Amino acid sequence: MNDDVIRSTTLEKPVAPDLLANIDAYWRACNYLSAGMIYLRANPLLREPLKPEHIKRRLLGHWGSDPGQSFVWVHLNRLIKRDDLNVLFVSGPGHGAPATLANSWLAGHYPEIYPDRSADERGMLKLFRAFSSPGGIGSHCTPETPGSIHEGGELGYSLSHAFGAAFDNPDLIVATVVGDGEAETGPLATSWHSNKFLNPATDGAVLPILHLNGYKIANPTILARIPHDELEALFKGYGYAPHFVEGDEPEAMHQRMAATLERCIADIRAIQANARAEGDRAETVTRPRWPMIVLRTPKGWTGPKEVDGHKVENFWRSHQVPIVDPASNYRNLSLLEDWLRSYRPEELFDENGRLIETLRALAPEGTRRISANPHANGGLLRQSLDMPDIRDYAFEFKRAASVYQSPTVVLAAFLREVMRRNMTSFRLFGPDETASNKLDGVYEVSGKRWVAETLPEDDDGGALSVDGRVMEMLSEHTLEGWFEGYVLTGRHGLFATYEAFVHVIDSMFNQHAKWLEKAKNELDWRRPVPSINLLITSLVWRQDHNGFTHQDPGFLDVVTNKSPDVVRIYMPPDANCLLSVADHCLRTHDYVNVIVADKQPHLQYLSMQEAIVHCAKGIGIWDWASTDQGAEPDAVIACAGDIATMEALAAVEILKEHCADLKIRFVNVVDLFRLMPDTDHPHGLPHRDFDSIFTRDKPVIFNFHSYPTLVHKLTYNRTNHANMHVHGYRERGNINTPFELAIINGVDRYTLAIDVIDRVPRIAGSGAHAKEWLKNQIIESVRYAHEEGIDRDEIREWTWKG
């Protein structure tokens, strides 16, 4: 099985000596700048002997992976120049921002974005001083870093981001350095399989470069400490053709890398040419063994070999700052100076501190400069979706709360048309759940992406296709990573996933929200990117045999901790509201929109026009369900979420019957952030408006889809907060019928009605009798559910009598 494995200990030397010397010089310039960022606050070009006062007062930054990453970068430059390649760079180790910053600065792109850090000595010093300094530049490839779509502050997502960027960008090559520490994370380990979802004819290419620099913060990496045959087998097993570039002697390594990179690019082009030559016969596209590179170089390559008797180069001690005390230890100051001077800055920069002309000529120009690739600032390329009119997809019915329909089935028809109109800029993501979530209606327009083996039966129930627009893999991490890479390069999508398991990507959500907040609020040069749209479905209240593990609506708590400038939560109560919300979300940018909507049949309440109005307001009094005729009510029944709404309505109906003179105002919330004050969230309601809906002093019985404390978290400083009594999921469940689950968590109609009666002293008389009846109903419902395994018909088929 060794035929397509290349160990580039080949004698091939594709680079002429002059060019090689220049490439090496350029690389030395990169390394000099990377080290300078970590250490220098003065004397940036070492025009005078290094003194303690030239050293920053606090030394911060990550040196370890910088030389290796810059090494990749300078060799990419060579081929970009030679072949006019369109290359995006993803830096997986993340901590190696100095490499990206150095290269962007040397290619002249960084100074274009940050003119104050200009391409001369003065700008160089400003760059050095800003790095890892307050108000300055981070040590990861943060949003502030030109050319980055991937921060790397949290490890594991470089490869999925890279594939997301490559999808539907047939001309693009996404060179992706995967850290060998990063490679130990779960999300990264499974994302190698993304190659089963990349169509060589219509997508771009990803060139993974596993940077085997041997160490993490303070430990060796697993992949650096297994035998070569295992490492080779692993990547062949993942479906790649691995190429090994290994060594530490720069000249030989330059030749090896140049030869290997040439070979990889040639292989990529051959794969693509072959697939594209097949023309429109998509079914003939087969999965190629894409090339990948294992680059084994010393950690902290070219840095100090040993400091204070400890090995540093090629050891984990070079992870961050290799020499920690140069300002206070003269021997180490000297060591630092020797190290910095080993790059011979005087040969690299002219008298103004500008990279010398010979070297400048090595960098590509304009948007071919890696950090200037427009895909890395995807908003530049963003085009609005061609959107159909949601009114054409409205769910029609005669009377509110009289028929059941699955909201996601209705949504699917709409998404199908969105997909049809945007066949190269919209994808649907789901972890093997698109059909389960009843979104399979989209399959009429496009199947499920699959670039692996197929069988005849695969056409049954949503065809597998190398052209499919539906991305299904049982890895929420990979899907979210793809989706983020896709939107950060300017395209659109929607990710539908089980409510309980969206927690799998809590951390990815956090990181993307943080990225957006910076990009949106602080970086004018980053153009707005399409929103991440998360459809949270298969909800807590309808889990049946899946039981307790599938009951977790707590993602919303995570979302509400993020910047109000970038997060939105919608809880459409029915299908038309879901359409209206989805239509809105797909038109937005720079948000994470979270839509909570179930797949099971639910009662339908609002016509399309009513839904549009209701969703635009985000919160509203439903007069048809209220019994206060616009007067001051005895109590407010509020609700958010489908089941919460149905049970709240049923409670109103019960109360109408049993406590006829009770005046109830019925409020439904779609846009959850309406509950917050306008001072805390752009969608927040001013206190005056909130009070006019929820009253200043009447009891509010709030039936909530998720954990009840979330409503308190959002409303704690409202006038009437002391009177808000929130019902919601209280972390109680097991194998239950839907109604039994509602009962044990107190969101059922009977419990709500009892709560209303308890809160309105005026009706204590009629209420007492009603409460007895209500309590009996609860007992009877549970008994029936346990005996029959289903809910009573009058519960299962309840509709609003009006």
Binding residues among 56-95 for a second copy as defined by CB under 8 A: 56-58, 60-61
One of 47, 51, 310, 762 touching a second copy (CB under 8 A):
310
Q: Which is nearer to a second copy, 190 or 537 (CB)?
A: 190
Question: Under 8 Å CB-to-CB from 140, ≥6 apart: which residues?
Answer: 94, 95, 97, 151, 152, 153
Tokens 């001369």 correspond to 120
Say whether residue 796 binds a second copy (CB under 8 A). Answer: no
**Using the rule CB under 8 A, is 342 a contact of a second copy?**
no
Binder to a second copy among 404, 501, 624, 800 (CB under 8 A)? Answer: 501
- Taking CB atoms within 8 Å and a gap of at least 24, the contacts of 612-618 are 612/390, 612/580, 614/577, 614/580, 614/668, 614/670, 615/570, 615/572, 615/577, 615/580, 615/581, 615/584, 615/670, 615/671, 616/580, 617/670, 618/669, 618/670, 618/671, 618/673, 618/674, 618/683
Nearer to a second copy, 56 or 492 (CB): 56
- Per CB under 8 A, 326 contacts a second copy: no
641 near a second copy, rule: CB under 8 A: no
Angstrom CA distances, 349 to 45, 449, 505, 702, stand at: 8, 50, 45, 68
Burial readout 266-302 (b: 16 or more C-beta within 10 A, e: otherwise): ebbeebbeebeeeeeeeeebebbbbbbbbbbbbbbbb
Instruction: Verify binding: residue 679, a second copy, rule CB under 8 A.
Output: no
Give the integer Cα–Cα distance in Å for 508 and 190: 15
* Interactions with a second copy, residue window 142-201 (CB under 8 A): 142, 151, 153-156, 181-182, 184-191, 193, 196
Is the CB of residue 428 less than 8 Å from the CB of residue 439?
yes
Which of 132, 202, 422, 537: binder of a second copy (CB under 8 A)? 132
Q: Per rule CB under 8 A, is residue 135 in the interface with a second copy?
A: yes
Min separation Cβ 459 and a second copy, Å: 11
Other CB atoms within a 10 A radius of the CB of residue 547 amount to: 13
Give yes or no for residue 280 binding a second copy (CB under 8 A). no
- Binding track over 729-758 against a second copy, x by CB under 8 A: --x--xxxx--x------------------
Between helices 17-39 and 330-341, what is the axis angle to 10°? Answer: 150
Q: Maximum distance among all alpha carbons in the chain? A: 99
Residues 540-559 that bind a second copy (CB under 8 A): 544-550, 552, 554, 557-558
Task: Output 489 or 543, the one with its CB closest to a second copy.
Answer: 543
d(CA 205, CA 240): 13
Question: Which residue stretch of 200-208, 211-219, 273-281, 634-642 sits at the interface with a second copy (rule: CB under 8 A)?
Answer: 211-219
Q: Containing H/E element for 24? A: helix 17-39
Query: Helix axis angle, 764-788 relative to 738-745, nearest 10°?
Result: 140
Q: Which amino acid is at 771?
A: K
What gap in Å lies between CA 498 and CA 518, rounded to an integer?
A: 29
- What are the backbone dihedrals phi and psi of residue 429, each rounded to the nearest 5 degrees, phi first? -115, 140
Output 537 or 604, the one with its CB closest to a second copy.
537
As to burial, measured by CB atoms within 10 angstroms (0-12 exposed, 13-18 middle, 19+ buried), residue 788 is: exposed
Q: Nearest-5° angle of CA 30, CA 525, CA 124?
A: 30
> Minimum distance between the CB of residue 484 and a second copy, rounded to whole angstroms?
14
Other Cβ atoms less than 10 A from the Cβ of 557: the count is 14
By CB under 8 A, which span of 24-32, 73-81, 105-113, 131-139 interacts with a second copy?
131-139
Task: Report residue 218 as tokens.
Answer: 């303070």
Number of residues that bind a second copy (CB under 8 A): 130
| DSSP notation for 604-647 | ----HHHHHHHHHHSEEE-GGG-SSTTS--SEEEEEESHHHHHH
Question: Minimum distance from CB of 426 to a second copy (Å)?
Answer: 20
Does 317 engage in binding with a second copy (CB under 8 A)? yes
Using CB under 8 A, which of 52, 115, 789, 802 touches a second copy?
Answer: 789
538 binds a second copy (CB under 8 A): no
Examine residue 140 and tell whether it contacts a second copy (CB under 8 A): yes
Q: Which is nearer to a second copy, 84 or 794 (CB)?
A: 794
Distance in Å, CB of 184 to a second copy, minimum: 4
- 389 to 428: interface string for a second copy, x by CB under 8 A: ----------------------------------------
Q: Which one of residues 709, 792, 799, 800 is an interface residue with a second copy (CB under 8 A)? A: 709
Rounded to a whole number of angstroms, the minimum distance from the CB of residue 266 to a second copy is 23
Of residues 442 through 471, those in contact with a second copy by CB under 8 A are 448, 450, 452-455, 457-458, 460-462, 464
Q: Report d(CA 771, CA 773) in Å as an integer.
A: 5
**Shortest spacing between CB 501 and a second copy, in angstroms:** 6
Please state, in angstroms and rounded to a whole number, the distance separating the CA atoms of residues 282 and 121.
Answer: 54
- Based on its alpha-carbon atoms, the radius of gyration of the chain, rounded to whole angstroms, reads 30
Compute the least distance from the CB of residue 144 to a second copy, in Å.
9
Is residue 385 a contact residue for a second copy (CB under 8 A)?
no
Q: Does the protein bind a second copy through residue 517 (CB under 8 A)?
A: yes
Least spacing, CB of residue 423 vs a second copy, in Å: 21
Instruction: Please list every residue from 581 through 600 that binds a second copy, using CB under 8 A.
Output: none
Applying CB under 8 A, among 13, 126, 236, 391 the residue interacting with a second copy is: 236
Could you say whether residue 112 binds a second copy (CB under 8 A)?
no
Instruction: Check binding of 225 to a second copy (CB under 8 A).
Output: yes
Question: Is residue 523 within the footprint of a second copy (CB under 8 A)?
Answer: no
Least Å from the CB of residue 590 to a second copy:
16
State the virtual CA torsion across 660, 663, 666, 672 in degrees, nearest 10: -140
CA neighbor of 124 nearest in space, from 101, 148, 91: 101
In angstroms, the CA 30 to CA 100 distance is: 9
Query: If binding is defined by CB under 8 A, does position 222 make contact with a second copy?
Result: yes
- Which of 202, 465, 475, 745 touches a second copy (CB under 8 A)? 475
- Residue 511 Cβ, how far from a second copy at the closest point, in Å? 6
